[in-house]
Amino acid sequence: MKSIKLIFVLLLLSFSAMAQQNVSYDYANQINAAFAGVNLNQVPHGLLKDYAMEFAELNHYDGNLTKANILQRGSYVAVYNTLLMARTRTDVPDLVSPDHFEAQWEKYRYPHHTAISGVFYKYSQLRSNSNIRAENNVLYDTSPNGRALPNPYDTKTVFAMAAPVMVYKNLTLTVKLPRSMFFTNQFDNIKGIFVDFGNGEGYQYMTWEDEIKVSYERGGVYDWRYSLHTMEGETFQSHSRILIDVPIEETIPTRIERTINEPCNTNDDIDTVEFAGIQRFQGIPGSAILEIDYIRDNNCRITRPLIVAEGFDAGIFGRENPFGEASYENFERNIRASFNLERELDDYDIIYVN
């Protein structure tokens, strides 16, 4: 087995050096050359961990919770990509290209809505005491005289789930579990999936395409726990983490989002207006969200406007957060540090351009 491990080490070191220069098929060519003496079509489940370029250690996500295997979007995608790279044949259920994976997930993300994704696969790994042999940097699953060797593989299970959003700037979020974002070769063995969003309501059963409105009383860091029950009576667990980025001492002001052509609602604390421009840049029209804090009792009429335009918004918080990294709430929180400035701004209709 030491000679087999040495082959993998040399292979990865070689690819690492080339990967710094360009992206190519070098790894695929080298791994296929290394496994030239193995009948890859006979690998159980069509997934071989030793065959993959490993972006994540699949053994860490075996259905048991530890402090080290809390997931977020990046680590979950690394698990998915490792499974994709572990394919020894093309008929493995559900797995799609990285571009398709990202586009599919993005389709379910929009303001105040997100979708959780998951993987549940049985895969193979070479046994540590396997008598698979290595000759001239090539692995063989047969003896020198061509006789088949005893099964060299262990069967293992990986279960991982996560949401694409890591920071959410509101207290209520609608969460969906799309069938197209759950990838598995054990579909018929799934009895049910349950999620505990850490808000005190415990585990909730989720069906495919089901939407659950998740509410929190205050901001903070919350762990989402996922529990998958199988028809065989097994339970696998996974967990991810999300920051509800709302000041603990404050509540979210009421707001009803509208377009520029729809009437203002006088019951809103903040008037939120979607605005679309007519000029285009690279074929895309400009757009903005206006957050308007009217002078008290002004009945939705702008009489003393003060326009605040925020700087560049990188969009790193995702489409679930329509106001991005900064919003009028952040601006208002900052001006409260100056009592005099806060009193001055009370005399203006503040138009925050988001």
Q: What is the pLDDT of residue 22?
A: 45
Q: Rounded to an integer, what distance in angstroms lies between the CA atom of residue 106 and that of residue 92? A: 23
Under DSSP, the state recorded for 144 is: T
Q: What is the pLDDT of residue 78?
A: 97
Judge residue 114's burial from the number of C-beta atoms within 10 Å of its C-beta, 0-12 exposed, 13-18 middle, 19 or more buried: buried
Q: What is the pLDDT of residue 343?
A: 65
Q: Rounded to an integer, what distance in angstroms lies between the CA atom of residue 72 and that of residue 67? A: 13
Q: What is the pLDDT of residue 335?
A: 66
* Cα 165 → chain centroid: 6
Listed as ranges, residues in the chain with pLDDT below 50 are: 2-3, 5-23, 250, 252
Looking at the structure, give the CATH architecture of the domain made up of residues 55-126+155-244: Sandwich (2.60)
Asked whether the beta carbons of 56 and 78 are under 8 A apart, the reply is: yes
Residue ranges of the domains in the chain?
A: 55-126+155-244, 255-353
Task: Give pTM, 2 decimals.
Answer: 0.75
